[in-house]
Structure 1
Amino acid sequence: MTLDTDHALPPEDVRIVRDEASGLDAIIVVHSTALGPAAGGCRLWSYADRTAMAADACRLAEGMSYKNALAGLPLGGGKAVMRAPDRAFDRRGLFRAFGRAVEKLKGSYLTAEDVGTTPEDMAAVALETRYVAGLPVRGSGLVGGDPSPWTARGVFLSMQVTAERRLERPLKDCTVAIQGVGHVGAALAGMLHGAGARLIVADVNSAAVSRVAVATGATVASVGGILSAEAEIFAPCALGAVIRHDTVGKLRARVVCGAANNQLADAEDGLRLADRGILYAPDYVVNAGGIINVAAEYLGWTPSGAAALIEGTADRLVRVLDLAEAAGLAPHAAANRLARQKIAAARSSPLAAAA
C-alpha cells in the first residue's frame, strides 16, 4: 500500500469570531463551496487554546467537504468550533451570538449541531440566521432534529459490508467493540443487538455504558481496554484521532468501522492499519447519515428521499474499497482521491461534477 499522491485542498475562508458579552469564542472554517454551501456542524468543546481550535476546525471542515462530496450532496464542507466558556454563561445568548456570525457569511456556511450542541441550541441560532439546520422536529414523519439514528444507520449498513468482505460472515457471527455510546454509539449498539451481534462497550460516561449494557447484554470494557478487546470489529464512536501510531498495534479487530470523525490521527495511520491486514472503512464515507438528514431538512427533501440516500451508504463504501484494491491504495486514500476528484470537477465544470 502507498499514500495517495493527491494533495489536500486548502480552506477557502477561516473566520475567528468573538463576542465579549456572550462569551463566544469560535472559529468558522469554510473549506469548499465548489459543490454548494459549506455545510457542517458546530462543535462546543473545552479547547486548550485557539491553536487547538483552529487545527480541529480545519481538519473537520476538510472532512465535511469530502463527506458531502461522496454522499452526493449539493453541499460543500465547513465546520465551526466553539470554546466552552470557563465561567457561567447564558447558553441561548451564546448561540444567538454565533447565529449572528453565521449570518454575516451570507449563506456560504450552513451550520447544524455537532458534539456538545443540541437541536435546542440550533433553535437559538435560527433566531439570528436562516442558514441553520438540525432544528427540533415539529410534527411527525419529518426530517430534522437529532441526526444520530441516521448516522448510526449508515455505519450499521457499512459494517455489514465490511463483515462480509473481510470476515466472510454476517454480523450475527461477529463481536463488535464500540468505543463511545453517546447518541450515535447507543443507536448503533441497538441496531447491532437486533442483528444478533455480540457487543463490548466502553465510554467515559458510566451511566451511558450501563444503559446500553442493560438494553443489549453488552460486556463492559474499560476506556483504556476497548482498543485491545477480543472483537472482530472495532467501532470508534467517540472523538477522533483514536487510530494513532501508538494504538494501531493494540487492535485485535480485523475491521475498523465507526461513526467518529477523523479517526486517523494522520494519513500514515491508514497505512499502518492496511499493513496489519485491518480493513478500515473511511469514517466520512460511513458516517454521512447525519449530514444527509441535515441536507434533507435544509433543502426540503422528503424523509423517503433522505432514507434512500442513507441506504446507499453501503454501495458508496463498496466503490471506495473496490478502488482501493484496484489501485493498490489504503481505503482512506482511495476515498480522498474520489472526493477530491469530484470537488475538482465541480470547480472546473459544475455540470461535470453533477454527472
Structure 2
Amino acid sequence: MALPEWDGELTSVRHDPETGAWFVIGVHSTRLGPASGGTRAMVYPSVDDAVADARRLAGAMTLKMAAAGLPMGGGKSVIALPAPRAELDDATWRRILGLHAANLNLLGGNYTTGPDVGTCSADMDVLRTLTPHVFGRSAAAGGPGSSGPMTALGVFAAVEAGVAEAGFDGVDGLRVLVQGLGAVGADVARLAAAAGAKLIVTDVDPARCAALAEELGAEVIDTGAVLTRECDVLVPCATGGLVTAEVAGTLPCAVLAGAANNLLADPYAAEVLRRRGVVHAPDFVANSGGAIHLVGREVLGWDADAVADRTRAIRDTLAGIFDDARTHGITTVAAAERRAAATLEGAL
C-alpha cells in the first residue's frame, strides 16, 4: 500500500486476517479539540479506496466542526468489510466491533467515534462496553439516541436557506427531489412534505420508495434519473461523489442541498454551479446537525431544545455564507471554507 501525501495528522490502518476486515482511522485535525467522526462500515473495492475515503471524510469533519463552532477536531473511521454487513454472522460482527474498540483505545482519546453509514446506535452501545471513546449510544443505554433526526433537521434548514437565496418564497409548491431514503433522507422527505413540497423520491431499495409514496404521496423515480430529472431542489442523502464538473454543468435544479458527505466529485464542480446560478449549500455545513446533536448533548451538556435551536441556525449560517460568496464572487464552498479556516486559525 502506498499512502499519498495528506494534510492530516494521523492515519491508522489495521488488517484482521480472521475476518478479512480492514480498519482505517483518519485523524485530520485536533486543533479545536479531540477529533471526532463516525464509523463507516461497508465493502470497498480496495483498502486504498478505504483509506482515501477515511481521509476525505476526516477532512470534511474538520470543516464541519469548525463551521459549526464546535470544540472538536475532525476524524473518521472506515471499516472495509469482507462482505455486506447483512451477510456477516453475529460472531464476525462482534469481533469486528471488538477490534475497532481496541483501535480506538490505542489512540487514547484523541479520536472519538459515532454512527455513520453501516453502523447505528446499537453498535455504539456495544462499543461503549469496550471503550469510552464513543458518541451516539441509544437512549436506552444512556446516550442521546440517533443523530439522524437532527441531521435531517439541519439539511432541511439548508434547503430553506437555499430556497430563500434562489429567490423562492418558501418550500411550499416546489419540486423537492430526495435521493436516498435512509434514516436521514426519509426524515428530510417528511419535513419537505409537511412544508408543502411536491415530493419526488428515489432509493436503491424499492420498499423504501413505496413506503414514502404511500405515506407522503411522493412520486417515485428510478435511481438513474436523479441527475436528469427537473426539480427545484435536489437533496442527495446517499453517498458522496455524485456531482462532477460535467454533471454540475447540466444539473436541472435551482438549489443543491443534501446530507451526503463529499457531494462534489471535484473542486471545479462548485465553480460550475456558481456560474450557472445554482445555489449550493456545502455539505459539511448542511449536514452538521448530527455533529451538533452528539457534541452538544455529550460534550457541552445541551438539552434537546438547545440542540434543535442550534441546528435550525444552520439556515442563518448558510445565509451568511451565501452573502459572502455573492459579495466576493467566490463559490459557496470557498466561502464556507473561509469561515472554517478563520475558526481554526483563531485556535492557534
- SS at 1:138 equivalent: helix
Shift of residue 144, structure 1, vs aligned partner: 2.1
CA distance in 1, matches of 2:155, 2:330: 22
- SS at 1:208 equivalent: helix
Q: Does 1:51 align with 2:52?
A: no
Structure-2 residue corresponding to 1:239 = 239
Shift of residue 19, structure 1, vs aligned partner: 3.0
Structure-2 residue corresponding to 1:10 = 7
Structure-2 residue corresponding to 1:4 = none
CA distance in 1, matches of 2:249, 2:51: 29
- SS at 1:160 equivalent: helix
Letter in 2 for 1:309: R
Q: Does 1:260 align with 2:257?
A: no
Q: Say whether the 8 Å CA contact 1:17–1:28 is kept in structure 2.
A: no
Shift of residue 94, structure 1, vs aligned partner: 1.0
CA distance in 2, matches of 1:212, 1:135: 27
Q: Say whether the 8 Å CA contact 1:143–1:293 is kept in structure 2.
A: no
Alignment of 1:206-285 (within 5 A): 206-285=206-285
CA distance in 1, matches of 2:236, 2:315: 18
1:207-232 per-residue CA deviation (whole Å, 9 max, x = no partner) reads 11111111111111111112221211
- SS at 2:246 equivalent: coil
Give the number of equivalent residue pairs: 338
CA distance in 2, matches of 1:88, 1:67: 32
Across the aligned residues of Structure 1 and Structure 2, the Cα RMSD in angstroms comes to 1.7
CA distance in 2, matches of 1:134, 1:322: 34
Shift of residue 23, structure 1, vs aligned partner: 4.2
CA distance in 2, matches of 1:191, 1:88: 34
1:118-165 per-residue CA deviation (whole Å, 9 max, x = no partner) reads 1111112112210101111128xx862221110110111121121122
Q: Say whether the 8 Å CA contact 2:165–2:322 is kept in structure 1.
A: no
Shift of residue 296, structure 1, vs aligned partner: 2.6
CA distance in 2, matches of 1:171, 1:88: 42
Structure-2 residue corresponding to 1:82 = 79
Letter in 2 for 1:196: G
Shift of residue 88, structure 1, vs aligned partner: 4.2
Alignment of 1:39-118 (within 5 A): 39-86=36-83, 88-89=88-89, 90-118=92-120
- SS at 1:224 equivalent: helix
Q: Say whether the 8 Å CA contact 2:137–2:143 is kept in structure 1.
A: no
Q: Say whether the 8 Å CA contact 1:22–1:97 is kept in structure 2.
A: no
- SS at 1:16 equivalent: strand
1:298-333 per-residue CA deviation (whole Å, 9 max, x = no partner) reads 213322222221121111111111111111110011
Structure-2 residue corresponding to 1:144 = 144
CA distance in 2, matches of 1:154, 1:61: 20
Shift of residue 183, structure 1, vs aligned partner: 0.9
Letter in 2 for 1:122: M
Alignment of 1:122-133 (within 5 A): 122-133=124-135
1:212-270 per-residue CA deviation (whole Å, 9 max, x = no partner) reads 11111111111111222121111111110111133223411011011111110111010
CA distance in 1, matches of 2:329, 2:250: 25
Q: Say whether the 8 Å CA contact 1:24–1:98 is kept in structure 2.
A: no
TM-score under structure 2 normalisation?
Answer: 0.93
- SS at 1:242 equivalent: coil
> Do the aligned partners of residues 22 and 100 (structure 1) sit closer, same or farther apart at CA in structure 2, a change above 3 Å counting?
farther
Extract unaligned runs of 5+ from structure 1: 1-7, 349-355
Structure-1 residue corresponding to 2:324 = 323
Q: Say whether the 8 Å CA contact 1:95–1:122 is kept in structure 2.
A: no
Letter in 2 for 1:106: G
Letter in 2 for 1:194: A
Q: Say whether the 8 Å CA contact 1:11–1:30 is kept in structure 2.
A: yes
Alignment of 1:275-314 (within 5 A): 275-299=275-299, 300-314=301-315
Structure-2 residue corresponding to 1:3 = none
Shift of residue 174, structure 1, vs aligned partner: 0.8
TM-score under structure 1 normalisation?
Answer: 0.91
Q: Say whether the 8 Å CA contact 1:238–1:260 is kept in structure 2.
A: yes
Alignment of 1:170-189 (within 5 A): 170-189=170-189
CA distance in 1, matches of 2:295, 2:47: 29
1:97-116 per-residue CA deviation (whole Å, 9 max, x = no partner) reads 10110011011101001001
CA distance in 2, matches of 1:225, 1:195: 24
CA distance in 2, matches of 1:138, 1:307: 21
Structure-2 residue corresponding to 1:31 = 28
Q: Say whether the 8 Å CA contact 1:69–1:339 is kept in structure 2.
A: yes
CA distance in 1, matches of 2:52, 2:325: 28
Q: Say whether the 8 Å CA contact 2:19–2:82 is kept in structure 1.
A: no
CA distance in 2, matches of 1:38, 1:16: 17
CA distance in 2, matches of 1:98, 1:220: 38
Letter in 1 for 2:327: A
Structure-1 residue corresponding to 2:338 = 337
